[in-house]
A and B are shown apart, each in its own frame.
Chain A
Amino acid sequence: MILKEILSTGATRVAAAIIMGFVIGSLFIFFSAEDFIDGVASGDAGAAVAGGLGAIGAGYEALFRGAIFNARADTLIEGFKPLTETIRFAGPLIAAGLGISLGFRVGLFNIGGNGQMMFGILWGTYVSTRMDLPFGIHVLVAVLATILGSAALGAFVGYLKARTGAHEVIVTIMLNYISIYLFTWFIRSPELLQDPTAGGTPKSDPPAVTAQLPELFAGTYKVHAGVFLVAFAVWFYWWLMERSSIGYRFRMVGHNPHAARTSGINVERTYIAAMFASAALIGIGAAHQSLGIQVGYTESIHASIGFDGITVALLGGGNAIGILFAGLLFGAFKAGGPQMQVIGVSSEVLGIIQGAIVLFIAAPPLIRAIFRLPALKETPGLEKLRSRILKREVTK
């Protein structure tokens, strides 16, 4: 009975969706493997199947080696480098996922993560390359400038929606392009933010040493102090949405704006605040991305994290811990992709896996049908178990 209840939970569905995602990815690797195609061409079915299966095994092994632990490394410390890379890649994804998820819970679809990142990075780049501040303060100001820059653009979208009713999807899509071109113009003009040595190509200066997020294990791992920013973002999201009165208003508007308005909530102001908060969280990802490197960058520094954040938010299911793990999973894909490429399996297959996972998450009835999972309305057994662990009364 308890087992059946466990099978009906959301966590089981997420696990099943992840399994299905990898199964679908395997199919693509299988049928596109060179050994498989050669085997089919020569009419040798056994060799074809073996070749396909071999490619799947090698591909996922490379992914593991690139994202979690490299058993081929000389030392143990070196062996764990992939894991730290996963954490580093996951950071901005988690932050962006939190921001977009916050929008979802207020009923706003913030598709403008990329643009908000770029607008924040524009301010952050000015502080980190053109200002001269003492060590310690400089990095703080640069981080704050990035976050506030992103948040300002988000609040602008919220303002337009509140004031004129302009649809946030259309405005954020447009602002994506506008911010990227604006940033390109800044790093194309030597009198603004261009690296003087870059010549004709648009490129920014590297952030000043005092403005860089310091590496935590300089020389060994590339993971940097941005981790703390992201950890703070996870906590902040949880606190804001679950514990604060603003978060309560957010959720109420997201549930039913008409009811919220009737009960005295200023829906328009809530939209502005929610877009500000959503873009501020994305801005944390932007700071992690742009201030954690030692070289100059171009307008592609956003790495489409604003879009990837949407899938992170969906897989995370709206809660902070879920988004944390979703970000880590997709961060692992980013870290492990190049290793797959090296052994000849296109790392684009990870995009397919990513999409497939979220597709199955989006349709609970489908994944239940595939795995024959039960759908229970109530889970009394689990509730009892949970209350025993947490030592509190079952609230009914």
Chain B
Amino acid sequence: MSDTRIEVTPGMFSLAERKVSWKSTIVMAAFTLFVFFFFGIFGKDQPVTYKITADDARFVLPALDTMSNTVGIVAGILLAVMTVVAAIWVSRKQDVPLWWVIIFGAVALFAFLGWLAAGSVVPIAFLLGNALILAVPIIFGGLSGVMSERVGVVNISIEAQLIAGAFVGAVVGTLTGNLYVALIAAMIAGSLLGMVLAVFAVRYLADQIIVGVVLNVLVIGITNFLFSQWLANDSDSTNFPGTFPIISLPLLSDLPVLGPVLFENRLTVFGVFLAVPLLWWVLFRSKLGLRARSVGEYPLAADTVGIDVGRTRFWWVSLGGLLAGFGGAALTIGNVGAFGKEMTAGQGFIALAVVILGRWHPIYMSAAALLFGFSIILRVWANQVSPGIPTDFILMVPYLVTIIAVVGFVGKVRAPAADGQPYLKE
């Protein structure tokens, strides 16, 4: 049970043994060729308009009118340059920085949008704004995952925490008529689930993956049951909470493009701006975070210097659940209002994936979550703008990108060393 040995990997202790991989460069080259030929040379010879700002924005920027295949060619050349720069980095035995990869992805995405919307308009502000709103539950679920995995508890039950938050948020919001009370109730529901996971993992030394899976089954079962037995029959008085008002922050929301996208939103979206940097600061810049990470990496050592491993794990997992409960509420009272049966539709599992994709780092995790938020709005928009293309393939894109990213860029990600291992004090 107390098997907490750490695998020694090359590069862990000295930089001399570091090896850099060419994999990411090869993947980038493949993307470059695809964009250049498929969207560019053999692309659609039709005009496309990139509408940067919304029509009702205070400062309307001029829209960019161009040809779909021109965008493909220009983007292809740009990507080629970026690939060459990445190759130079790798040949000097340096890692390609993640932000470079993110910019690369953004350029490729820009060309993809131009190809999709050939003969039509790309509403950039609309897409970005909705991507952010749809990513909120995934980001908060991911924060819950980061918090619990950083202290060594695998959290498969993010889905359960999200759906519990969504359910409690909608029902309490309707019954009390006060959405702030509903939000707090949703957070409590999420943290209670976190506590159950923590108690089973810390106190009963149960297999964390199993407890997580079971909590999912249980909570989905409970919400399904209550939904069909109770909410479905009497939705006006139980499942009609309304949503938070849209707040626009003065001055900030007047900024061009990003202003309305970022600063004209519901409370739940602003929660992201607060929670993500805060968790980053606590994890990597505070004593509290250092202790927490030591518990996740090497509980025996942490215990030796007087850190209470069990208590640390309990509180971090529970507070993570609190955040996921918030994210669940963002699905109902922060976006659509009413609760729907199994409305999380696997977003908790996506959150699980973005935690790994974002290397257990709150900010990288959020970037990955935004990709999924973007894909959700993309499928809606692509259906309208070019009905002919097989949307099943567009639906696949974010999942394919994730696999490629995991295989090509992330590779052997190193989880917190004691992730998933119960710690038994001897």
- B277 CB–A CB distance under 8 Å: no
- B290 CB–A CB distance under 8 Å: no
Q: What string of 1s and 0s marks CB contacts (under 8 Å) between B388-417 and chain A?
A: 001011011001101100111011110000
- Which of A167, A182, A364 gathers the greatest number of chain B CB atoms within 10 Å? A167
A190–B5 Cα distance when bound, in Å, is 56
Interface residues on B, range: 35 or more
Chain B residue numbers with a CB within 8 Å of A164 are 23, 406-408, 411-412
- B356 CB–A CB distance under 8 Å: yes
A364–B206 Cα distance when bound, in Å, is 8
Contact between A365 and B396, CB atoms less than 8 A apart: no
The one of B5, B353, B390, B402 that contacts A188, using a Cβ cutoff of 8 Å:
B390
- A56 CB–B CB distance under 8 Å: no
Q: How many A-B residue pairs have CB under 8 A?
A: 139
Stretch at the interface among A91-99, A171-179, A209-217, A242-250: A171-179
Distance between B352 CB and nearest chain A CB, rounded to angstroms? 7
Chain B residue numbers with a CB within 8 Å of A365 are 204-205
Q: Which chain B residues numbered 9 to 62 have a C-beta less than 8 Å away from chain A? A: 23
The one of A171, A188, A189, A351 that contacts B406, using a Cβ cutoff of 8 Å:
A171
Stretch at the interface among A140-148, A275-283, A352-360, A388-396: A352-360
Contact between B200 and A352, CB atoms less than 8 A apart: no
Chain A residue numbers with a CB within 8 Å of B407 are 160, 164, 166
The residue in chain A whose Cβ has the minimal distance to the Cβ of B349 is A173
- B248 CB–A CB distance under 8 Å: no
Q: Which chain A residues numbered 73 to 104 have a C-beta less than 8 Å away from chain B? A: none
Distance between A391 CB and nearest chain B CB, rounded to angstroms? 36
Chain B residue numbers with a CB within 8 Å of A166 are 403, 406-407, 410-411
A238–B151 Cα distance when bound, in Å, is 37
Chain B residue numbers with a CB within 8 Å of A44 are none
A204–B204 Cα distance when bound, in Å, is 48
Contact between A362 and B412, CB atoms less than 8 A apart: no
Distance between A99 CB and nearest chain B CB, rounded to angstroms? 15
Contact between B210 and A167, CB atoms less than 8 A apart: no
- A28 CB–B CB distance under 8 Å: yes
- B229 CB–A CB distance under 8 Å: yes
The residue in chain A whose Cβ has the minimal distance to the Cβ of B5 is A258
The residue in chain A whose Cβ has the minimal distance to the Cβ of B227 is A348
Whether A165 touches B412, Cβ cut-off 8 Å, given contacts A174-B403, A177-B395, A351-B225, is: yes
Distance between A255 CB and nearest chain B CB, rounded to angstroms? 10
Contact between A351 and B229, CB atoms less than 8 A apart: no
Contact between B396 and A182, CB atoms less than 8 A apart: yes
A32–B238 Cα distance when bound, in Å, is 14
Contact between B356 and A167, CB atoms less than 8 A apart: yes
Residues of B contacting A: mostly: helix
Distance between B97 CB and nearest chain A CB, rounded to angstroms? 20
- A349 CB–B CB distance under 8 Å: yes
- A235 CB–B CB distance under 8 Å: no
- A314 CB–B CB distance under 8 Å: yes
Contact between B217 and A311, CB atoms less than 8 A apart: yes
Contact between A351 and B217, CB atoms less than 8 A apart: yes
Whether A358 touches B217, Cβ cut-off 8 Å, given contacts A169-B352, A177-B395, A182-B396, is: yes
Chain B residue numbers with a CB within 8 Å of A169 are 352-353, 356
Chain A residue numbers with a CB within 8 Å of B210 are 314, 358, 362
Contact between B392 and A352, CB atoms less than 8 A apart: no
Contact between A359 and B211, CB atoms less than 8 A apart: yes
Chain A residue numbers with a CB within 8 Å of B383 are none
- B209 CB–A CB distance under 8 Å: yes
Contact between B225 and A363, CB atoms less than 8 A apart: no
Chain B residue numbers with a CB within 8 Å of A314 are 210, 213-214
Distance between A18 CB and nearest chain B CB, rounded to angstroms? 14
Q: What string of 1s and 0s marks CB contacts (under 8 Å) between B270-294 and chain A?
A: 0000000000000000000000000
The residue in chain B whose Cβ has the minimal distance to the Cβ of A185 is B392
Contact between A175 and B403, CB atoms less than 8 A apart: yes
- B254 CB–A CB distance under 8 Å: no
Chain B residue numbers with a CB within 8 Å of A355 are 214-221
Contact between A171 and B393, CB atoms less than 8 A apart: no
The residue in chain A whose Cβ has the minimal distance to the Cβ of B390 is A185
A354–B214 Cα distance when bound, in Å, is 9
Q: Which chain B residues numbered 194 to 246 have a C-beta less than 8 Å away from chain A? A: 200, 204-207, 209-211, 213-222, 224-230
3 nearest A-B residue pairs (beta carbon):
A351-B221, A355-B218, A165-B412
Footprint of B on A, CB under 8 Å?
Answer: 28, 32, 109, 111, 160, 164-167, 169-171, 173-175, 177-178, 181-182, 184-185, 188-189, 256, 258, 310-311, 314, 346, 348-356, 358-359, 362-366
